[in-house]
Amino acid sequence: MASPLSQKALADLPDEIAPDGSQVRLLLAMRGGSMAHFTIPQGHTIRAVKHQTVDEMWYIVGGRGVMWRSFDGTQKEIELKPRLAVSIPVGTIFQVKNEGTNDLCVIGQTMPAWPGNDEAIICAGPWQPTVSNHNIETKYE
If one compares 36 and 138, the residue with the highest pLDDT of the two is: 36
Question: What type of residue sits at position 9?
Answer: A
111 beta partners: 55
- What is the pTM assigned to this prediction? 0.90
What would the pLDDT profile of 85-135 be if each residue is shown by its tens digit?
999 999 999 999 999 999 999 999 999 999 999 999 999 999 999 987 544
Q: Which CATH architecture has domain 24-123?
A: Sandwich (2.60)
Domain ranges of the chain: 24-123
Nearest Cα neighbor of 110 from 132, 139, 88 is 88
d(CA 119, CA 136): 21
> pLDDT, tens digit, for every residue of 51-82?
999 999 999 999 999 999 999 999 999 999 99
pLDDT value at position 31?
A: 87
Q: What is the pLDDT of residue 2?
A: 60
pLDDT above 80: residue 1: no
Query: In one letter, which amino acid is 111?
Result: M
* Residue 93 · residue 69 · CB < 8 Å: yes
Cβ atoms of 39 and 105 closer than 8 Å: yes
